């Protein structure tokens, strides 16, 4: 239209391989934090990205976690199951809680290829961490690379406190600073994590950062939740 200037605002889309996504964005678009349905759709898309159809165990996140033999492990935010497979193959009993059905589908396909005894030790529950109702308490609860994503990190840590045995441990890893696309909504510096632990009835056994920019923590229940 001559003489006028129309501003057309398009929702930013990020092309990934052969697909376009409307919720994952490199912009500071955090609308999913206010809208649970949008939040779930965002993580359905995460599981549809080609890179996330491969299962990749990340030693750089897990190497401070040294479970005792034959432990029971609960993972909150289990992605497509790399920790379930890794620790299940090592003889641990591992259950994951994961929101995204597309990520779980990748895990279930791989699970069918495992030996029967590994299959018997690993399982995934679909749903919100915040709504998870544990059947029992676990020796270890993993909260690895989750707190930078979620609506309220205290709710996630409170669930970990509810699910860990009184003498068990909660293992946490997260990037110290905020980076990446909009699935990351915050960084996890040690001072913030210390406050969230306190509010969630947990206390750190060790809490530290490493030069590559990661915060790690092993925590346990404060006496009240024991
Ligand atoms: C970066 S991945 C976690 C990686 C995995 N823990 C590991 O160590 O390999 C974060 C996962 O948390 C899941 N997630 C985020 N918020 C969630 C919630 N409120 N309830 C359940 N799952 C959630 C996401 O779908 C995603 O798979």
Distance 7 CA to ligand 1 centre (A): 37
Has residue 80 been placed in a domain? Answer: yes
Has residue 64 been placed in a domain? Answer: yes
Rounded CA-CA distance 109/164 in Å is: 29
> How many structural domains are present in the chain?
1
Q: Which residues, 6 or more positions from 129, have their beta carbon under 8 angstroms from its beta carbon?
A: 76, 77, 97, 99, 146, 150, 155, 156, 159
Q: Which residues, 6 or more positions from 54, have their beta carbon under 8 angstroms from its beta carbon?
A: 106
The CATH number given to whatever domain includes residue 135 is 3.40.50.150
Has residue 43 been placed in a domain? Answer: no
Distance 205 CA to ligand 1 centre (A): 23
pLDDT digits (tens, 9 = 90+) for 156-196: 999 999 999 999 999 999 999 999 999 999 999 999 999 99
Within 10 Å of residue 71's Cβ, how many Cβ atoms? 17
Has residue 197 been placed in a domain? Answer: yes
> Does residue 32's CB lie within 6 angstroms of at least one atom of ligand 1?
no
Rounded CA-CA distance 95/140 in Å is: 11
> Does residue 146's CB lie within 6 angstroms of at least one atom of ligand 1?
yes
Pocket test residue of 42, 61, 79, 94 for ligand 1, highest count of atoms within 8 A of CB: 79
Closest to 218 measured CA to CA, from 152, 137, 164? 164
- Look at residue 5 and tell me whether its pLDDT is greater than 60: no
Closest to 95 measured CA to CA, from 145, 141, 155? 141
pTM of the predicted protein model: 0.93
Rounded CA-CA distance 173/208 in Å is: 10
- Provide, rounded to the nearest whole percent, the portion of the chain with pLDDT above 90: 88
Quote the domain boundaries for residue 162.
55-225
């Amino acid at each position: 239209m001559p003489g006028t200037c129309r501003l057309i605002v398009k929702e930013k889309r990020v092309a990934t391989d052969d697909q376009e996504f409307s919720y994952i964005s490199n912009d500071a678009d955090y609308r999913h934090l206010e809208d649970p349905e949008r939040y779930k759709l965002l993580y359905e898309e995460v599981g549809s990205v080609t890179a996330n159809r491969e299962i990749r165990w990340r030693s750089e996140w897990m190497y401070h976690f040294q479970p005792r033999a034959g432990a029971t492990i609960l993972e909150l935010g289990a992605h497509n199951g790399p920790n379930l497979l890794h620790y299940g193959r090592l003889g641990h009993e591992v259950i994951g809680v994961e929101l995204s059905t597309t990520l779980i589908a990748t895990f279930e396909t791989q699970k069918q290829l495992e030996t029967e005894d590994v299959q018997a030790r690993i399982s995934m529950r679909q749903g919100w961490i915040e709504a998870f109702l544990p059947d029992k308490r676990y020796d270890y609860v993993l909260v690895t690379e989750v707190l930078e994503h979620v609506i309220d990190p205290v709710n996630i840590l409170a669930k970990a406190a509810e699910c860990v045995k009184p003498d068990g441990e909660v293992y946490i890893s997260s990037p110290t600073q905020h980076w990446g696309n909009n699935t990351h909504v915050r960084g996890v510096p040690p001072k913030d994590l210390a406050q969230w632990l306190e509010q969630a009835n947990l206390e750190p056994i060790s809490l530290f950062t490493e030069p590559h920019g990661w915060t790690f923590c092993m925590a346990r229940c404060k006496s009240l939740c024991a």
